[in-house]
Structure 1
């Protein structure tokens, strides 16, 4: 049965917070960067809305692998268990994604600029990642 490995002695609470923050920043950069690239490349209707979906998928995949290996040190029993964990990880991200999208689309609606939209997205992602850590610890990587 797979379990979260105990926090190694070198993984203090402070180090955990720093690593999680770095990984959240990497995921935020992957999310917002892929949004920016998509909008630059795709001159189609609803490009911004589609770019948010693309960014969310990219950021989710990046964060899952970083959290799995470095934060929770989680090992899957087999491929099916890995897929199940990713699905559960994605489900836990549902509410936190709504927070992120709310801030991003809210900033876009209020200010109407790309800078505001991406800033709102960044703020929403930070708030969402704080909530996501606790959900993942309790339900995904437990």
Structure 2
């Protein structure tokens, strides 16, 4: 997959991962309110953590197969790639969490918190694609074609 189909597929997967992430965040926050923990710092951090984890696993499965055409199998291959994928996500997660937290701090509304989350995730996913393409999925059959067309194929 190349060009516009790749961009649109990646964007669709990112949008789905955002929905998964924010859905889990809402679930964690609603559960914390139901059990009387409130919506303070602890539940907020837990919601970001579990939402991020759910989105990470969801997106890894989609990216590995459909974006980078990585057909490696086995626990060793998955463990190595998922570890690298997660490590690359640390920087992009900082972008996402920082933006979401800033919006929450400035406006103290769920709508603006989620707007900050979406903005941070969009920026993060652009950076993450580049990191994954160059550092994680380096042996997949699609990696050479995943980037800009250079007129040659590996």
TM-score by length of 1: 0.90
1:49 to 2:39 alignment:
no
User: Per-residue displacement from partner, 1:73-114 (whole Å, max 9, x unpaired)?
Assistant: 102252111111001000000000000001000000011111
The 5 Å alignment of 1:1-142 reads 11-43=1-33, 44=37, 46-142=42-138
1:32-58 alpha-carbon deviations (Å, 9 max, x no partner): 111001111123261111000000000
Normalised by the length of structure 2, the TM-score is 0.83
2-structure distance, mates of 1:63, 1:21: 11
Question: What is the distance in 2 between the residues matched to 1:82 and 1:105?
Answer: 32
Unaligned stretches of 5+ in structure 2?
A: 139-154
Alignment RMSD (CA, Å)? 1.0
Mark the structure with the bigger radius of gyration: 2
> What count of residue pairs does the alignment treat as equivalent?
132
Secondary structure, in 3 states, of the residue corresponding to 1:42? helix
Quote the offset at 1:12 in angstroms: 3.2
| 3-state SS of 2:83 partner | helix
Structure 1 runs, 4 residues or longer, greater than 4 Å off: none
User: What SS is found at the alignment partner of 2:12?
Assistant: helix
Aligned to 2:143: none
Q: Distance in 2 between matches of 1:77 and 1:65?
A: 12
